[in-house]
Structure 1
Amino acid sequence: MLKRRIAAHPSLSVGAFCVDSGRALASLFLRPVAPAMFTAPVQWQDCAAVDVAPEQPTRSLFGVSLSSIQPQAVEAMFAFLYPYLLKGGWRDIYLGSPIPGLRKALEKNAGMPIWSYVHARRRRRSGEPTDPQLAYYHRKGFRQIVSIQRDYFPHVPSLNYGVILRGQIPLARFGALWRATPLPLLKSVSQLL
């Protein structure tokens, strides 16, 4: 599956590696997607499918496997990737996330609607979600909750629920300008982000 993802969209497959050991520290595999698909019930395998292309042209991407044990690796990966995304005219990235704190939250408060849990925020940490995975993605710029999906993928702590998140690519609204800008200059501009 990894080889198929890279072969399908080589310019949208990135990773960060340790310079000493060569060990992978972070990865992200992107594919074009029609955002309207997230307004209906959807499962992870539908979102991540390599062989499915959107019916109409799109400026949106779906990301698979954005995880890392080292936050700096994710930051380095995005710093490398952003100029290419801007040059390609991409506007936003969607991700699917588990909500691993859901089961425990419902054990404490069985009547709580799932919507309430997903949208709950920490008071002391700049409005971050209370769920640890959603908070992680929030810090990476994925701040818009698009939909809550039942039976998204098997994950016991999430009770099989998933959340579709959206992150805007910084400065993407100037897409025509970025497509005309030489890549070396665009790399310099994106470093300011």
Structure 2
Amino acid sequence: MAEENEPQEAPEAPAPDELEQLHALVQALNAENSELKDQRLRALAELENTRRRAEREKQDASQFAVTRFARDMLTVADNFSRALKACPPELRDAADPQVKGVIDGVEVTERQLLTTLEQHGVKIIDTTDAKFDPNLHQAVAEVPGEGKPAGSIVHVIQTGYTINGRLLRPAMVTVARKEDTTPTVDQQA
């Protein structure tokens, strides 16, 4: 019990050089700790970015995997449309019942094809009273406006389509050109 009551000796105070060394060591360890924390945070951020990118690529792949197939199917839709345009309504009305049946079958098949394409994200680009948009349309010619303002779509040569909001095929169109308002030499006389 005597040991408990004996006064304990105070530890020796470190020498000033030792204090400086310890202080430098603490600063070095703090700096290394900060650097390691920064590296860890950067690695976590990079991992999260990679995860997001992979998820986005997976989603894009699933949404646009059918793009090539859909583009090929547009040729079939174009052929149905051409076949129906080749037989004007007045000829259809005068045709035999069997021919009318075939034409009706082609119309139904075309509608069914377009509906199926739409169910899979393929949509027709609406060109009704539209202005030319180089992101959606391909201008093949500039023509007189026929009363439409310059830059308006005058005629659709080939229907355009998007797939899940992304361009699948541009609409081939003719565009109203700006009317020349300067008088010619003949008009001045």
**TM-score, normalised with respect to structure 2:** 0.22
**TM-score, normalised with respect to structure 1:** 0.22
Higher RCO by CA contacts (8 Å cutoff, separation 6 or greater): 1
Normalized per residue, the structure richer in helix is: 2
Normalized per residue, the structure richer in strand is: 1
